[in-house]
Amino acid sequence: MIEKVYKLKFALSDGTAQTVRFAVPCGEDGKDGQNGRDGKDGHTPIKGVDYFDGKDGKDGVNGKDGYTPVKDIDYFDGAKGDKGDRGEQGLQGIQGIQGVQGIQGVQGEKGEKGEPGAQGAQGIQGVPGEKGAPGEKGETGAKGEKGDPFSISKIYPSVAAMNAGYASDGVAKGAFVVIDTGNVNDEENARLYIKGDKAYTFLTDLSGAQGIKGDKGDKGDKGDKGDKGDPGDKGEQGVQGVQGEKGEKGDQGIQGEQGIQGEQGVQGQAGADGDRGTGILKVTSSLTSYTTAIGGKNPIKRMALSTIKTQAGVSEVLVGDLVAYSYYQYHIYYVDNSYAYMDTYTSIRGSTGAAGTTPVKGTDYYTEADKTEMVNAVIAALPFETWTFELEDGTTIEKAVAVNG
């Protein structure tokens, strides 16, 4: 039960101001009635009943034939005159279209060989050919005789002594002799000579020089392992060698231990926004009935894409969206450049509510006359001469009454 509150202001006979509040029961506001159903689709006009196409007009009357001139009236044939003088040659005519190519003539006899032409310029260097296969290995040659090992046949104390003993020292021609003066600072010391046909010939000074390699000696005993030497400086990189043939694939190596996790990389740029999912597009304009086949079936409604986008507040309309209008939702199954086409619909109107009760006067509601009567009864029972009645909306009423008793 809803009560409407009233406020009554009045003054007693002694001048004291008083305010009295009282409530008058009121019925609840009735619920809004349900919207009416959609009206039926408009009538499609029928040709021959609701409208007519105009008929083609009749053909016009043919015009009259033109006038045929009459010989000897409209025109005359004169007697043939004498042949006139030859006129001047006319201008060169336009070149005619090229004629069809003639038949191939018989091949002529072969002419005599011409003189050789001058030698042409040298051509561009050709691309180098691929490397040829290696030739077969040649046969091993015969083993040569073993040469004499290097040896000193005689040691002289001086160059003068060597020259003096050339004829009588018994040294064979081609043999070596060396000078040993016993003094390393002597210029003649450590000189090497070879005996020739007539005299000794100087070869080299062996002072501080590496001697000629002698015979290979016997293999010595294995020495103790020496200390590891300091690494030498890195040598210059050598010339790139010829690439060898590709070797066979090696066996799978043992998996290494997992490395330490690296630092987290810089966050990548945000990806592009995904496609909008299908949804319900609410419109305020009614949809147009449409039954012409499109997209493989006959639709029941269609609506312009621009209208849907504007009223639903979207930038694109997708197949699978639902268009909501009034109490119905329509399913979009096909979209072209201008329209969206719907093939089914569902009702979104709720079920009918329970029947309401009929309000009872005096319990659920009071009329305006009832309210006025109750107010007047309260006023009549109050002991004052004047009062001010203020309604809930702010309206005030002032009135003078007689004092009771």
CA distance 230 to 226: 12
The pLDDT, as a whole number, for residue 361 is 79
Domain presence at residue 183: yes
Residues in a beta bridge with 12: 384
Same domain, 370 and 333: no
Do 343 and 305 share a structural domain?
yes
**Is 223 among the domain residues?**
no
* pLDDT value of residue 341: 96
Rg (CA), the chain: 67
Residues 336 and 388 in one domain: no
Q: How many residues does the chain have?
A: 405
Domain ends where: 171, 203, 235?
A: 203
Judge if 369 and 340 occupy the same domain.
no
321 lies in some domain: yes
Number of alpha carbons in the 13 Å side-chain half-sphere of residue 280: 9
Q: Cβ distance 189 to 207 under 8 Å? A: yes
Q: What is the pLDDT along the chain (405 residues), one digit of tens a residue?
A: 556 666 666 666 666 776 766 666 666 666 666 666 666 676 677 777 766 666 666 776 666 666 677 777 666 666 666 777 776 776 666 665 666 666 666 676 777 777 776 676 666 666 677 777 777 776 776 776 666 678 899 999 999 999 999 999 999 999 999 999 999 889 899 999 999 999 999 999 887 655 555 567 677 777 777 777 777 777 777 667 667 777 778 778 778 778 778 778 778 787 776 667 788 999 999 999 999 999 889 999 999 999 999 999 999 999 999 999 988 999 999 999 999 999 998 887 766 777 878 888 777 777 888 878 887 777 666 655 555 666 656 666 655 544 444
Domain assignment present for residue 380? The answer is: yes
Of 203, 237, 262, the domain-final residue: 203
List, in order, residues 6 or more apart from 311 with CB less than 8 Å away: 282, 283, 284, 285
- Residue 164 confidence (pLDDT): 94
Same domain for 328 and 387, yes or no, is no
Residue with tokens 């450049």: 337
What is the reported pLDDT for 365? Answer: 77
Task: Give me the pLDDT at residue 112, please.
Answer: 74
Cβ distance 141 to 164 under 8 Å? no
Indicate whether 54 belongs to any domain.
no
In a domain, 144, yes or no: no
Range(s) of the domain holding residue 296: 280-347
Domain count, the chain: 3
**Predicted pLDDT of residue 213:** 58
Domain end, chosen from 182, 203, 224, is at 203
Question: Does 238 fall in a domain?
Answer: no
Residue 176 lies in a domain: yes
- Same domain? For 288 and 343 the reply is yes
Tell me if 31 sits within 8 A of 368, measured CB to CB.
no
Q: Where are the beta strands (DSSP E) in 81-230?
A: 152-156, 176-179, 191-195, 200-205
